[in-house]
Structure 1
Amino acid sequence: MPPKGKAKGKGDSAAAKAMMAAAAPGQQQRPKKPPPPPACFSPDDLAKFKALYKEFDEDNVDKVPIGAIPTMLRKLGFNPKGAEIKELFRLFLEDDLVDTVEYHEWLFMIEAKMNWGDDFEIVVTKAFAALGHDDETTGKVDFELLREELMKWGEPLSEIEFADWIKLAIKDKTYNPEDGTFDYCKFVDNMNAKDERYIQEPINFFKLDQKTLAAMAMKKAQEEKEEQERKEAEKKAREEAKRLRMIAEGLLPPD
């Protein structure tokens, strides 16, 4: 019979290995504790975000499909662009193979989108209004007039590209061939809704992108500002000349 001490030691070693083997899977499967929500959110905010999250958690598994995130953000009043959606997934999801979003990841996506803001869409919309001379901001411009402007800016559109654009604009009902008007507000909405197709630029339709439109808007705004300053300077010069003439004629006392 082998010594008891030796047998006991051998048995302990086997038991320890068995316990370690049994514990290892449990350690790997142990769920990670989700981080606390962003401090910027109030209890009311969290309640609203949770209710919206549950609305899309159809299986009640505390996960929503990754494809629902753009729609969920829009329901909160945001205007997520394709590039922004891609960046949110890169920042807050574990890898490219994940197809669901957990609640804490959803909260951090909201916080990031809040920090990024939505101002650029306003710039683009104003650019369309400026290009199409929609001074009263009706949301519609003359399509041919817009076409002439787009042929001059950035990387100009070719005739073939513009012909294709007209076809799709008719299909999207942003161009009305009967009266020749183009609904640029609806166009912006349509382009922003195409999150997967238009990833490289938030609004990217045959070389018509936000950078080009923003440049158009800023240049036109600068031109308008310079024109207004020129008119004001001419008005002051005329008023000063009139004043000096009246002084010379004795109609006004000298300074």
Structure 2
Amino acid sequence: MAPKKGKKGKEPPPPPSKAMGPPPKPKKIPPPPSCFTNEDLLKFKDMFKAHDEENIDKVPIQLIPLMLRKLGFNPKTAEIEQLFKMFLEDDLVDTVELHEWYFMIEAKMNWGDDFELAVTKAFAALAHDDDETGIAQLEVLKEELMNWGEPLSEIEFVDWVRLAIKDKTYNIEDGTFLYPKFIENMNNKDEKYIKEPINFFKLDQKTLAEMAIKKAQEEKEEQERKELERRAKEEAKRQKMIADGLIPPD
């Protein structure tokens, strides 16, 4: 009689393949930049968490420009691209981790930021605020902005005035406009209020700078023209007095 077959046991798992090698070591996260205080780190982390909507300790790469602007920076497109090259692993990465966010902020701080200064100076020139008091007549600025660069339309200017009234940078009674504060408020706007954090209703840094430079050049040329006319008149008057014998010739 043949022996009974025993129950078939589970086959043992195959031995691990030597080709697979050891598991990869976890990535060592570097400490945050030493230049930041605990208060700085808390503020930067809160900003990061506020945009980590999926709660995965990562934020979408496309939100980095907005996040930097909310911290008061004004990164240019070339600077954003440089930050990604410096601190992200490759071009395929579509998220940013917290430690990478810290180092991006540090780099941007070291590069400096002159956007608000350039825009403020442009506004001063366009508003004829020669002493740069920060106060302008809105009607004067409106006239310039509707005729220089990419002109504002009436509809766009109505939106501008509405924001200025809301932000208390425009005084309806005397027509004064606190343009530095307006620029600061526009810089801090969230994307849920306007499509772009900084658009100045078509007035970007380049446009404003070009407008201010062009205006200054034309004003200089106008002053030179008036000075030449004044000298010509004085010379004509002097020649007439010589002809009339009132003064001796040279």
If the TM-score is normalised by the length of the shorter chain, which range does it land in? 0.5 to 0.7
Q: Amino acid of the residue matched to residue 101 of structure 1? A: H
CA distance in 1, matches of 2:246, 2:158: 68
User: CA-to-partner distance for each residue in 1:78-135, whole Å, 9 max, x for gaps?
Assistant: x434757744653334433124234555443334x23xx51x5333222222322223
What's 2:64 paired with?
none
CA contact (8 A) 2:136 2:177 kept: yes
Matches within 5 A, 1:1-255: 17=18, 21=20, 23-26=22-25, 29-31=26-28, 50-52=34-36, 54-58=38-42, 64=45, 67=48, 70=68, 79-81=73-75, 83=77, 86-87=80-81, 89-91=83-85, 92-94=87-89, 95-102=93-100, 104-111=103-110, 113-114=111-112, 117-118=113-114, 120-194=115-189, 203-237=198-232, 254=250
Deviation at 1:23, TM superposition (A): 2.1
CA contact (8 A) 1:134 1:141 kept: yes
Q: Amino acid of the residue matched to residue 142 of structure 1? A: Q
Higher helix share: 1
CA contact (8 A) 1:174 1:186 kept: yes
Shift of the 80–157 alpha-carbon distance from structure 1 to 2, 3 Å rule, reads closer
Deviation at 1:56, TM superposition (A): 3.3
Deviation at 1:33, TM superposition (A): 7.7
CA distance in 1, matches of 2:165, 2:75: 23
Give me the TM-score of the superposition, normalised by structure 2: 0.63
User: CA-to-partner distance for each residue in 1:4-59, whole Å, 9 max, x for gaps?
Assistant: xxxxxxxxxx6882xx7562323xx243889xxxxxxxxxxxxxx62425433349
CA distance in 2, matches of 1:192, 1:81: 11
CA distance in 2, matches of 1:100, 1:88: 18
Question: What is the aligned residue count?
Answer: 213
User: CA-to-partner distance for each residue in 1:140-164, whole Å, 9 max, x for gaps?
Assistant: 1112222222222233322222222
- 3-state SS of the aligned residue for 2:207? helix
Shift of the 101–109 alpha-carbon distance from structure 1 to 2, 3 Å rule, reads farther
CA distance in 2, matches of 1:202, 1:132: 23
CA contact (8 A) 1:132 1:146 kept: yes
CA contact (8 A) 2:68 2:105 kept: no
CA contact (8 A) 2:83 2:104 kept: no
Moved more, 234-243 or 134-143: 234-243
Give structure 1 stretches of 5+ with no counterpart. 1-13, 35-48
CA distance in 1, matches of 2:236, 2:172: 53
CA distance in 2, matches of 1:50, 1:101: 12
Q: Amino acid of the residue matched to residue 39 of structure 2? A: E
CA contact (8 A) 1:82 1:202 kept: no
CA contact (8 A) 1:52 1:72 kept: no
Give me the TM-score of the superposition, normalised by structure 1: 0.62
After superposition, the CA RMSD in angstroms is 4.2
